[in-house]
Amino acid sequence: MFASYRSASRGDVDLAVNAARAAFASWSQTPLSERIAAVRRIAAALRERSEAIAQVITREVGMPAKLSARIQAGAPIAAWEQYAELASAIDWEGRIGHSLVQQLPVGVVACITPWNYPLHQITGKVAPALLAGCTVVLKPSELAPSSAFLLAEAVAQAGLPLGVFNLVHGNGPEVGEALVRHSEVDMVSFTGSTRAGQRIAALAGQDIKRLALELGGKSAAVVLPGADLAAAVKATLGGCFLNAGQTCSATTRLLVPRAQAQQAAHLAAELAPAWRMGDPADPATRLGPLLSHAQREKVRDMVHAAIAEGAQLVTRDGPLPPHGFFFPPTVLDHVTPQMAIAREEVFGPVLALIAYDSIDEAVAIANGTGYGLAATVWAATPAAALPVAQPLRAGQVDINGAPFNPLAPFGGFGRSGIGRENGRFGIEEFLEPRSLQMPATYFETP
């Protein structure tokens, strides 16, 4: 054990929410320039702690250290600075006919975040909420709480007024639900499983609270005839195995023309061993452990069930590291769309290879899970990919391996959630538009 935190009581939740409520009137009226300056100070304080952030997340989550430094620490710290830059570009007040339309902060926001990308997910909620003029109560995952504690230190160093940011630790059924049910919470922003999101939506609906839900995914990579198959397979493995597959937008289904299925399976079998398992602190490690014994058993059970249904394992199980909840990089061929492994989120390093006979069938398979967080289309040219990308019911679609854009909206369709994060869309998620109908003489030039 390297850290311990006290779980909050319901009384602690009351104190935190009431503090946020008391601070809201003042913070919401604080000039935007001062809110931006405060967020910039938080970003600077986080940057001072970037090495510590990467270290604690590697220890809690298991992502290899060289990736944690860039993805788990560097990217979210940069996002704090990006949000501060974007806030001044929001159209806070404008005119529509004889109305003034203002963007007002939602109020007190409960931010409930997951363990797989802890600071990243916290940043996507807390930074834009503060810039919008909201006050925040954050409950990070009890499985990876340390980066939230370092954020609290950074907030204190930045000198935010008391009550603007509040941190409570604890599990979802007790502390999380107490936050969602609290009468003084105006909005709940949650990232996590679809099952937990359904529970939160049901509770929040009792008081008609504003909701933002970023939930599960079962993202497909659709390879079209004429695409660079080797590049598509390599990139899809990367998208599937990153963070040991513990990524909501992981590309866990590879859809290829039936005539190329055997070649795709051969390429995947050749490339998968490059994802070397080992100690996350070792620079040579590419695949860290899963979060827990229970998660490893869930992944194993899903793979065994798929094989029992007719899927074929095309990768070989090598020796596992002696310590940690490791699961080898796994590729399954002969997967059909009806199998559970093709429909449900695994949250482990498992890729399902699915053959299709027509483009229409590929689109139907890609859309056939109920999830809609992300997708990828590979074609001979970007222009050839667009007609297939258009009907995909996914919140973001990458064309021919184009990189992630932190300024573009992130969120999903269907079981993948409600609302959008990132960029100006993330700030607007915490705003409520209000119209003031004015006499015509108000707009007359003196």
Q: Is 203 left (phi over 0), alpha (psi -120 to 50) or beta?
A: alpha
The span from the CA of 148 to the CA of 166, in Å, is 11
Spell out the alpha helix ranges (H) of 110-219. 118-132, 146-158, 177-181, 194-205
Residue 108, H or E segment: strand 108-112
Torsion of CA 115, 117, 120, 121, to 10 degrees: -50
Within 13 Å, how many C-alpha atoms sit on residue 187's CB side? 24
Options 214, 421, 428, 429, the catalytic residue: 214
- Residue 85: which residues within 8 A CB-CB, separation 6 or more? none
Specify whether 240 is catalytic. Answer: no
The span from the CA of 405 to the CA of 37, in Å, is 24
Burial 127-158 (b: 16+ CB within 10 A, else e): bbbbbbbbbbbbbbbbebbbbbebbeebbeeb
- How far, rounded to the nearest angstrom, does the alpha carbon of residue 399 sit from its chain's CA centroid? 20
Beta strand segments in 187-239, E? 187-191, 210-214, 219-223
Specify whether 111 is catalytic. Answer: no
The span from the CA of 139 to the CA of 182, in Å, is 14
Options 248, 345, 421, 429, the catalytic residue: 248
3-state SS class at 163 = coil
Beta-sheet strand order (sheet of 108-112) = 165-167, 135-139, 108-112, 187-191, 210-214, 417-418
Active-site annotation, residues: 214, 248
